[in-house]
């Protein structure tokens, strides 16, 4: 079972209280985008085996969005953080690099 700590309200929530929101830190396009850019936004997603950054909503709690870093194979959670940032916190990235020496980075 996946358990994440909501950084907004501090509650440890299991996956039944959360709603997934897809990949974190992607550039979202608006209505002014051309067809190629919109197609890339809709369909071209990373599907990594290993460390991944995702968006989650604490649907059955505070209702706020946040980001989580986790391993898609083992479900190990490295940390959660505010969705109001454009990249993962440096200390979280450093902690992941320490645990996964061969990890190439979040981008």
> Helix/strand/coil (H, E, C) string of 16-58?
HHCEEEEECCCCCCCCCCCHHHHHHHHHCCCCCCCEEEEEEEC
Is the residue at 107 inside a domain?
Answer: no
CATH, residue 56 = 3.30.2270.10
Q: What range defines the domain where residue 93 resides?
A: 3-99
Question: What gap in Å lies between CA 57 and CA 36, rounded to an integer?
Answer: 29
pLDDT confidence of residue 71: 94
The reported pTM is 0.88
DSSP lists the bridge partners of residue 50 as none
Is the residue at 105 inside a domain?
Answer: no
Residue for token pair 């870093």: 69
Is the residue at 34 inside a domain?
Answer: yes
Is the residue at 20 inside a domain?
Answer: yes
What are the pLDDT digits (tens) for 42-97? 888 777 889 999 999 999 999 999 999 999 999 999 999 999 999 999 999 999 99
Number of domains in the chain: 1
Is the residue at 106 inside a domain?
Answer: no
Cβ atoms of 51 and 10 closer than 8 Å: no
């Amino acid at each position: 079972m996946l358990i994440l700590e909501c950084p907004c309200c501090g509650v440890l929530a299991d996956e039944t209280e959360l709603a997934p929101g897809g990949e974190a830190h992607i550039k979202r396009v608006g209505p002014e985008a051309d067809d190629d850019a919109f197609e890339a936004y809709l369909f071209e997603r990373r599907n990594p085996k290993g460390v991944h950054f995702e968006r989650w909503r604490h649907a059955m709690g505070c209702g706020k969005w946040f980001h989580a870093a986790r391993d898609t194979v083992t479900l190990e959670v490295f940390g959660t953080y505010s969705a109001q940032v454009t990249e993962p916190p440096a200390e979280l990235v450093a902690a992941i690099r320490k645990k996964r020496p061969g990890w190439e980075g979040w981008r």
